[in-house]
Amino acid sequence: MKLSPYDYCPFCVRADMVANYKQVEREKIYLSNDDEATCFELIGAKKVPILQLNDGSRMGERLDIA
């Protein structure tokens, strides 16, 4: 599982805190704040955090992730 957050995003911090609490193994791939291309490539919108599941599916809605 891969989590792609911005470094100082409160929604990303929340998703990471929930993952820590639930002891979810994940790889964090930090995105720069001006990296729109990666967001659009992964989920078709400039939203973070982005969670990529082991089956290759991706989630970009922070409320669904946390």
Collapsed DSSP state (helix, strand, coil) of residue 33: coil
* pLDDT for res 54: 92
* pLDDT for res 19: 92
Q: Within the chain, how many helices (H) and strands (E) appear?
A: 3, 4
Is 48 within 8 Å of 14 (Cβ atoms)?
no
* pLDDT for res 64: 82
Q: Which of 55, 45, 24, 46 is nearest to 3 (CA)?
A: 24
The predicted-structure confidence for 11-47, as pLDDT tens digits, reads as follows: 999 999 999 999 999 999 999 988 899 999 999 999 9
* Number of domains composing the chain: 1
Q: Which residues form the domain of 22?
A: 2-65
How confident is the model over 49-53, as a mean pLDDT? 93
Instruction: Using the predicted structure, report yes or no on whether residue 63 has a pLDDT greater than 90.
Output: no
How confident is the model over 45-57, as a mean pLDDT? 92
